Chains A and B, each alone.
Chain A
Amino acid sequence: MTNTDKLSILVVDDRPENLSSMRHLLQQPGLEIITAGSGNEALALMLEADLALVLLDVQMPEMNGFEVAELMRRNERTRHVPIIFVTAINKERRQVFTGYEAGAVDYLFKPVDPFVIRSKVAVFLEMKRSQLARERLVRELNGAYNRLQELSDRKSDFLSAASHELRSPLTVIKEYCGLVHDGVVGEPNPDQKHCMHVALRNCNRLAGLVDNLLDLNAIETGHMICDRDELDLPELLETCREDFSETCAAAGQKLELEVVAGLPTVLADPAQVTQVLVNLLGNAHKFTPDGGTIRLSAHAEGEAVRIEVTDSGPGVPAEDQGRVFDKFVRLQGGEGSTPGSGLGLAIAQRLVDLQGGRIGVEDGTDGGARFHFTLPRHSEGARLRAFIRDGIGDENLRESRCLLLLQTSADLGLTLVEDQVRTILRRDADRLSRIRYQGVDTLAVVLTTHRDGALTFLARLESRLAADRRDAGPVTYALHEIEAGSGDTDSDLDTIGFVRLDLGMVARGGNDVPQPYSRG
């Protein structure tokens, strides 16, 4: 593979006879030997060729070998080219290039031993070959990654275009069925009304399928916006129970809700938790026979709250429990039940993932199935981590960003600061949120700029606040860089040191107080 690469080395010596003897010594197939008679000529050639090695004579007039190497080190294009100095023994000077990249410098002493020089050169050629192979591999991987990304983008575009194209005619069909069903175009007889009722029900089913496909696609491509906040679960569970009680009552099913008193609040997106519950309750309703019971319950479990939906259906066979959350897996429904799309549980699982929880299924005590999921308890630290992750989206932080935390002594001050931040941010204002941090109301801003941009942003904020006649009070800020690939685990934030500086009305500087992150 790498043998096809033509490698080049440069030999630098002021004596033509040395150059030709080196050429004679080193020549081999696949190797180009370039020669230069002076340091200046050598530097010019280095800028043009991609060299595996430079053999550099130390004693040359005008510019000696060490001076050439010093100039090479200063140039981005040549600083990584390995060097073998060809020199008379001169131990003091050997220290000169200890700063050069490790392993990239070697020495040969005159008179040159043909065996030694051949083997040393062979080592550097091998290094160059593996470097080229590595670079080619990286290029290929990048190419493959980009192609996959492109395919994935195209799939999303197709899905979103297809859903639009599906919905428009579906809307028309549903509307015309509805016009007949609702008697707008003349009173239908009972059979006609029933026909339209069935047609409408299936229109809704198809619409639900389109919604599910789009939701799943949005989640999988990281476009599902997750807006987590402190959430009071009992209230949300009660609303779900009320909304579902009618559906259950129609089938003679009992829907029970049991919430342990003093349940801690959780950190979650209320709309998405509702969707998870709707999917799980819908599933339970479908599999529970008429007259059966569905139980919805919640209790604290360690650092999380566990929510359970238990049905009195046939249960999920042990061999299926591992795959019920896969896409398009459809469980054997009760007799005469409408088959599902096989997407409801898959969506539930991904939505629970987004909240940082876990979902699962087990056998219920009475032979039915028990679906359960956890949601993390609300805490300041958890909220801050959630803000960072949600604000950044699921793009896995392709580039580093900055998180800015701003605090003032008074709420009014924070409001003024928020106004100014919004003015400066404008289009990025959705990356701004108020959170509780270390017991204080805090404005958290994710800046898409790197550190320099973030500092510019701070300077603008400072001058705006100074120009604002109203006293915002002392504003303290903490700025840290979120490294690529981080942002959603506890340890990422532990490593971040907070620096607080007074800003605004108080002169800045001088009091850098490292403030370690404390878990909320």
Chain B
Amino acid sequence: MMCHNRILVVDDEPDLRSSLALRLRGAGYEVRTASTENDVVGEVLDATPQAILLDIRLGAEDGLGIMERLGRISGAREIPVILLTASSHPGDRERAARHGAAAYFTKPFDPAELLDAIEDVLAVPA
């Protein structure tokens, strides 16, 4: 039975935010969205999502920097983060792993694989 898992979708591309929201709601998740670092922190404090989908490059902001900031917030550092990126810079995957990302997807991603990854990170007992 699908419980009310909240996912926070963070991307600076509004169209992608809405498509991901549609996709995840369709799969039974409650979805919140954010596009800037401050929004993310606000959402994490207010709504405490169970998982975060985070774009590595948010316009001028750096997704990994956001991860570091979340790591300093008690209660936020335990939330699993799945990173999305449109670049295939060879060092990105390694940096993502060093920052403790639960999974890493290069855009365009396979939606079925993304849903599997979300299910996996939620299945791990907190």
Stretch at the interface among B15-23, B75-83, B96-104: B15-23
Number of A residues contacting the other chain (C-beta, 8 Å)?
25
B90 & A179 in contact (Cβ 8 Å cutoff): no
Chain A nearest Cβ from B59, distance in angstroms = 11
**How far is it, in angstroms, between the C-alpha of A225 and the C-alpha of B88 when the chains are bound?**
13
B23 & A175 in contact (Cβ 8 Å cutoff): yes
Asked whether A185 and B22 contact (CB < 8 A) given A171-B108, A223-B90, the answer is yes
B88 & A211 in contact (Cβ 8 Å cutoff): yes
**How far is it, in angstroms, between the C-alpha of A160 and the C-alpha of B92 when the chains are bound?**
13
Scan B28-65; emit 1 where CB is below 8 A from any A CB, else 0: 00000000000000000000000000000100000000
Stretch at the interface among A64-72, A162-170, A283-291: A162-170
Asked if B119 is an interface residue, CB under 8 A from chain A, the answer is no
Across the interface, which residues of A come within 8 angstroms of B108, CB to CB? 167, 170-171, 174-175, 203-204, 207
Across the interface, which residues of A come within 8 angstroms of B68, CB to CB? none
Chain A nearest Cβ from B110, distance in angstroms = 9
Asked if B87 is an interface residue, CB under 8 A from chain A, the answer is yes
**How far is it, in angstroms, between the C-alpha of A197 and the C-alpha of B22 when the chains are bound?**
19
Scan B7-29; emit 1 where CB is below 8 A from any A CB, else 0: 00000010110011011001000
**How far is it, in angstroms, between the C-alpha of A254 and the C-alpha of B118 when the chains are bound?**
36
**How far is it, in angstroms, between the C-alpha of A164 and the C-alpha of B90 when the chains are bound?**
14
**How far is it, in angstroms, between the C-alpha of A171 and the C-alpha of B16 when the chains are bound?**
8
Asked if B107 is an interface residue, CB under 8 A from chain A, the answer is yes
A160 & B89 in contact (Cβ 8 Å cutoff): yes
Scan A143-185; emit 1 where CB is below 8 A from any B CB, else 0: 0000000000000000010011001101110111011001011
Asked if A231 is an interface residue, CB under 8 A from chain B, the answer is no
Asked if B86 is an interface residue, CB under 8 A from chain A, the answer is yes
**How far is it, in angstroms, between the C-alpha of A167 and the C-alpha of B11 when the chains are bound?**
14
Asked whether A168 and B13 contact (CB < 8 A) given A184-B22, A203-B108, the answer is yes
A176 & B19 in contact (Cβ 8 Å cutoff): yes
Across the interface, which residues of B come within 8 angstroms of A218, CB to CB? 90
Chain A nearest Cβ from B44, distance in angstroms = 24
Across the interface, which residues of B come within 8 angstroms of A223, CB to CB? 90
Chain A nearest Cβ from B56, distance in angstroms = 11
Asked if A214 is an interface residue, CB under 8 A from chain B, the answer is yes
Interface of A is mostly: helix
A168 & B107 in contact (Cβ 8 Å cutoff): yes
**How far is it, in angstroms, between the C-alpha of A360 and the C-alpha of B69 when the chains are bound?**
52
**How far is it, in angstroms, between the C-alpha of A204 and the C-alpha of B106 when the chains are bound?**
13
A168 & B16 in contact (Cβ 8 Å cutoff): yes
Asked if A224 is an interface residue, CB under 8 A from chain B, the answer is yes
B16 & A172 in contact (Cβ 8 Å cutoff): yes
**How far is it, in angstroms, between the C-alpha of A176 and the C-alpha of B88 when the chains are bound?**
22
A184 & B15 in contact (Cβ 8 Å cutoff): no
B19 & A164 in contact (Cβ 8 Å cutoff): no
**How far is it, in angstroms, between the C-alpha of A185 and the C-alpha of B26 when the chains are bound?**
8
Q: Which of A170, A175, A225 contacts B111 (CB 8 A)?
A: A175
**How far is it, in angstroms, between the C-alpha of A170 and the C-alpha of B106 when the chains are bound?**
12
B111 & A164 in contact (Cβ 8 Å cutoff): no
What residues make up the interface of B, taking CB atoms closer than 8 Å to A? Answer: 13, 15-16, 19-20, 22-23, 26, 57, 86-90, 106-109, 111
- Beyond the given pairs A163-B87, A207-B108, A225-B90, 17 more chain A to chain B contacts, judged by CB atoms under 8 angstroms and listed by A's residue number, are A163-B88, A167-B86, A167-B87, A167-B107, A167-B108, A170-B107, A172-B15, A175-B16, A175-B19, A175-B20, A175-B23, A176-B15, A178-B111, A179-B22, A182-B111, A185-B22, A218-B90
A selection of 19 A-B contacts at a CB cut-off of 8 Å is A160-B89, A163-B88, A164-B57, A164-B86, A167-B87, A168-B16, A171-B86, A172-B16, A175-B20, A175-B108, A176-B15, A179-B22, A179-B23, A179-B26, A182-B111, A184-B26, A185-B22, A204-B108, A207-B108
What residues make up the interface of A, taking CB atoms closer than 8 Å to B? Answer: 160, 163-164, 167-168, 170-172, 174-176, 178-179, 182, 184-185, 203-204, 207, 211, 214, 218, 223-225
Closest 6 CB pairs of A and B: A184-B26, A175-B19, A171-B107, A171-B108, A167-B86, A172-B15
